[in-house]
Chains A and B, each alone.
Chain A
Amino acid sequence: MSRRLQGRAVVPGRAEGVALVCRQPLSLWGGFNPRTGEIVDRRHEQSGQVATGRVLVLPRTKGSSTGSACLLESIRSGTAPAAIITAEVDAIVALGSIVADELYGRCVPAVALDAEAFASLRDGDVIAVAPDGTVTIGEPPC
């Protein structure tokens, strides 16, 4: 049984992956290593987790304005999340992804959900995002 949520396609695209859910905001510079895809903010709940290929569920980014550069570099080097779902439109995420699209013709799809829909996502959910901003949650793998 799957369920669907309607979000706003901030950077439209199609992707699928296993959710890595953060309840706390994260700085993508200083909190995320674009060479390894690891969350390296040692104060963060998901410190040590690798976001590569996951659907990164993040209320919003915080901290450094270099976050967009780290997202761009991770897209270039193949360590980026498959998609990023936020609880509000996040300009740092949108920017890193849009510049990657302009420069390399590939991006990380970004979707913004409302607070209630965002809160319903769970770590390990199998999530697909569609270009119209639809988020589909499938059964987690056994």
Chain B
Amino acid sequence: MSSDIAMTVRLSQRDEEMLAGRHGAGARLAMSVVARMADACGADELMDITAAHIDGCGLLSDAGLEFAETLAAGGARARVPTTLNMGPLDLQHWRDWSIDEAFAAKAIRQGKAYADMGCVPTWTCAPYQGYLTPRFGQQIAWGESNAVVYANSVLGARTNRYGDYMDICAAVTGRVPRLGLHLDENRRGQVLVRLRGFGSGDFDRETFYPALGHLLGPLAGEKVPVIEGLPPVVSDDRLKALGAAAASSGSVALFHAVGLTPEAPTLQAALHGRAAERTVDVAPADLAAAWADLSTAGEDDDLDAVLLGCPHFSFAEFRELAEHIARAGGKARADVIVISSTQSWALAQRAGFDRVLAEFGARVTLDTCMFHTPMLGGEVRTVMTNSGKCAYYAPGELNRKVAFGSLADCVRSAMLGRVRREEQP
């Protein structure tokens, strides 16, 4: 198809060679997508990237499988170090779950196609907490909305919010359209979000961060928000929860937090010395409304399953969970499902947390997530999570009622088999 289309983007000699098929049919297809996207989005030229993270390996669809196998069969290989997002299957333990054989066979084929293209089999949606973490200022092509917002905001690496299949095309060509968040001028903070009337107790609450993220998405729209008023030290996992929620309720691909994130040592620096286009004050009542909006189930509702690890649980989150379980002292009545990466889980096992989780009755599954692999039985009607992202998508994508609450409240509620939240906004 691409040969029929007149392109206006300037291409390098190597780009032209790829487009002409001189580096194989796979590279030709990838370059055609990159160049057509540059035209569609109004970029004048392409630029190099030096790492990629693939989200397109997550969803199992016939089209996605055909795309991956077409590229791989065409000899496409990643030219830059490339990690993989979670996939449609726990590749080692899928037989422990009631997974359809045909689904598993296709998922394994899809995984093989990406491995054949030279991708690193990280299989995680939190690639910033594992292998090949990007450096400050590094130009990268990442997919997965939560990973994109983390890479840009917390690490200061530079990527647009690449959609599925653009990510692997960028990896294969080493090229992306030169626009958006790759460029200094587009990283300027535009909407100033001032936290007003919060005390240190509020910032200590775990649910503060996903609730703030949930609020931030619609507030920011397509603009870059600057948050003023967060404490100077906030853990990686809390920033991860904030970003993941903001990238679900909205399109946030970059936020600045004054005094906290690397491109915002001061408010002036975050705004690139200009005035904010809009200023919004956020008060405790707004946070409370966002907190409430994340639940479709109510207090004391029967609880069937607790879902943890969206994005994938880190080592530190496993430790927190083990501590809450030890403190609560008992067993879960509801299902408890924790999703993570092989890397974080290996560390958790070495720390002995696997025994604590097993005694509690929690099941751990790796490489995948509840949205991409069929994990919940038909009897599951109500789920609970500490993730703003999971709470946002669960009603539509899992077709279950959801309660949002802290990790401690998830443990407490799992033991009761009922939604019970002591941490309120």
Contact = CB atoms under 8 A, between A and B. Distances in A.
B396 A40 contact: yes
Interface residues of A, number: 45
A25 B70 contact: no
B45 interface: no
A69 B37 contact: no
A116 interface: no
Contact of A96 (B163, B251, B395): B163
A98 B164 CA distance: 12
A27 interface: yes
Contact of B61 (A31, A64, A72, A102): A72
A104 to B, nearest CB: 8
B296 interface: yes
Interface string A86-114: 00110110111011111111000010000
Best-buried of B66, B248, B251 by chain A (most CB within 10 Å)? B251
Interface in B247-263: 247-251
A75 B64 CA distance: 12
Interface residues of B, number: 47
B63 interface: yes
B222 A88 contact: yes
A54 to B, nearest CB: 19
A17 B291 CA distance: 39
A31 B331 CA distance: 35
B29 interface: yes
A84 interface: no
A34 B63 CA distance: 11
26 contacts: A25-B250, A29-B59, A30-B392, A31-B396, A42-B396, A63-B145, A64-B145, A64-B248, A65-B143, A65-B144, A65-B163, A66-B55, A66-B56, A67-B164, A68-B166, A69-B64, A73-B63, A91-B40, A91-B41, A94-B37, A95-B163, A98-B33, A102-B2, A103-B67, A104-B63, A110-B40
Interface of B: 1-2, 29, 32-33, 36-37, 40-42, 55-56, 58-59, 61-64, 66-67, 70, 143-145, 148, 160-167, 217, 222, 247-251, 296, 371, 392-393, 395-397
